Amino acid sequence: MASQLDIQSHYSLRALNTFGIDAKAAHYLEVTDVAQLHALYRDTSLRAIPRLILGGGSNVLLTHDFPGLVLHIATLGMAVTGEDEQQVFVTAQAGENWHAFVQWTLAQGFAGLENLSLIPGSVGAAPIQNIGAYGSELVDFFHSLTAFDMTSGELLYLSKADCAFAYRDSVFKHTLRDRAIILEVRFALPKAWQPNLRYAELAAELASRGITKANAQDIADAVIAIRTRKLPDPAKVGNAGSFFKNPVVSAELRNSLLAQYPALVSYPQADGRYKLAAGWLIDQCGWKGKSIGAAGVHENQALVLVNLGGASGADLLHLANKIRDDVNAKCGVILEPEPVIV
């Protein structure tokens, strides 16, 4: 394609998605500098073709070869960028590994992100999903971000309000989808830190270690231990972590299910609804440890779909649809996938 950009053709994406799907991109560009995006914007032929933005590839299911241009965001850098009386501000480039960034903040003596340890993916992808775990979400510590607007060719500076964060959701899944390319993310970490031990599993892990007054690193270590036990390593078994969102349902439906299933796992929400544990619902339908061909459900966590070796994205999507249909038929709950289906 006519451009000074180093664009490769027929590029395998197998190493760029944690499911290990061997899909190919018609065209591929590794983005290490915003100047490349400006050049891409100026090239009208490149700007006109379909785009797929990849970071760590931990929140995508590739069901076919991609016919357009894949942009792999690989910008690097982390820094302390300011402070006030209440907070320290840190900034990370979009291509940084999320877990490495969390560990870096802890090494600097800054607490806040410890509950989000070991979540796979990149810093730039984290706001899109508003990642969360063990009672904490990205939105709790997010300050602002900078993105490149492929519609105008200009930089966007977005505040927390601008990002319209919700449960596993943001403006980047809606009006800014396929338009904004996140370049760097800024976080506000509290100087007056309080541990977040709302999840019983996390508190139990700390107690088992004899820790009665946990610091941030203690919590990070406990989260890492729990996730390592429960979740498969994408480097060994292809997966994208939790495949389905935990559904939020009415109190009426929750109470109806509770009467039928006294062990139902549910969490009250501020609006009177209840969040249900999707993994528990899937387990009730007998899917834990089951597979269809090379597409399977993890034996230790029903929320995780795995590539047992050689599964295509279509195979995994077929399995996901079967699970969704069973949960809907048995419980009247429709599960939504977390990963982007391409």
Query: What integer pLDDT is reported at residue 231 of this predicted model?
Result: 87
Distance CA 339, CA 342 (A): 9
User: Which is the catalytic residue, given 58, 122, 136, 242?
Assistant: 242
Q: Where in the chain is the domain with CATH 3.30.465.10?
A: 78-190
Is 250 marked active-site?
no
Contact predicate 172/182, CB 8 Å: yes
Query: What integer pLDDT is reported at residue 2 of this predicted model?
Result: 40
Phi and psi, residue 204, nearest 5°: -65, -35
In sequence order, the β-bridge partners of residue 93 are 184
pLDDT in tens, the chain (342 residues): 444 689 999 999 999 999 999 999 999 999 999 999 999 999 998 888 999 999 889 889 999 999 999 999 999 999 999 999 999 999 999 999 999 999 999 999 999 999 999 998 999 999 999 999 998 999 999 999 999 999 999 999 999 999 999 988 999 999 999 899 999 999 999 999 999 998 889 999 999 999 999 999 999 999 999 999 988 888 899 999 899 999 999 999 999 999 999 999 898 998 999 999 999 999 999 999 999 999 999 998 999 999 999 999 999 999 999 999 999 999 999 999 999 899
Could you tell me the pTM of the whole model?
Answer: 0.89
Q: Where in the chain is the domain with CATH 3.30.43.10?
A: 8-73
SS (H, E, C) the chain: CCCCCCCEEEEECHHHCCCCCCCEEEEEEEECCHHHHHHHHHCHHHHHCCEEEECCCCCEECCCCEEEEEEEECCCCEEEEEECCCEEEEEEECCCEHHHHHHHHHHCCCCCCHHHCCCCCECCCHHHHCCEECCEEHHHCEEEEEEEECCCCCEEEEECCCCCCECCECHHHCCCCCCEEEEEEEEEEECCCCCCCCCHHHHHHHHHCCCCCCCHHHHHHHHHHHHHHHCCCCCCCEEEEECECCCEECHHHHHHHHHHCCCCCEEECCCCCEEECHHHHHHHCCCCCCEECCEEECCCCCCEEEECCCCCHHHHHHHHHHHHHHHHHHHCCCCCECCEEC
CATH number of the domain located at residue range(s) 78-190 in this protein: 3.30.465.10
CB count in 10 Å sphere of residue 44: 7
User: Which is the catalytic residue, given 30, 137, 205, 338?
Assistant: 338
Q: Where in the chain is the domain with CATH 3.90.78.10?
A: 238-246+278-341
Question: Do you know the residue count of the chain?
Answer: 342
* pLDDT digit string, tens, across residues 164-181: 999 889 999 999 998 999
CATH number of the domain located at residue range(s) 238-246+278-341 in this protein: 3.90.78.10
Is 14 marked active-site?
no
Identity of the amino acid at 186: R
Residue 190, Cβ density class (10 Å: 0-12 exposed, 13-18 middle, ≥19 buried): middle
User: Which is the catalytic residue, given 168, 227, 254, 273?
Assistant: 168
* pLDDT digit string, tens, across residues 192-224: 999 999 888 999 999 999 999 999 999 999 999
Is 12 marked active-site?
no
Architecture field, domain 8-73: 2-Layer Sandwich (3.30)
Query: What is the signed CA dihedral for 80, 83, 87, 92, rounded to 10 degrees?
Result: -20
Contact predicate 296/288, CB 8 Å: no
Query: What integer pLDDT is reported at residue 235 of this predicted model?
Result: 85
Task: Please calculate the CA angle 157-162-164 and round it to the nearest 5 degrees.
Answer: 140
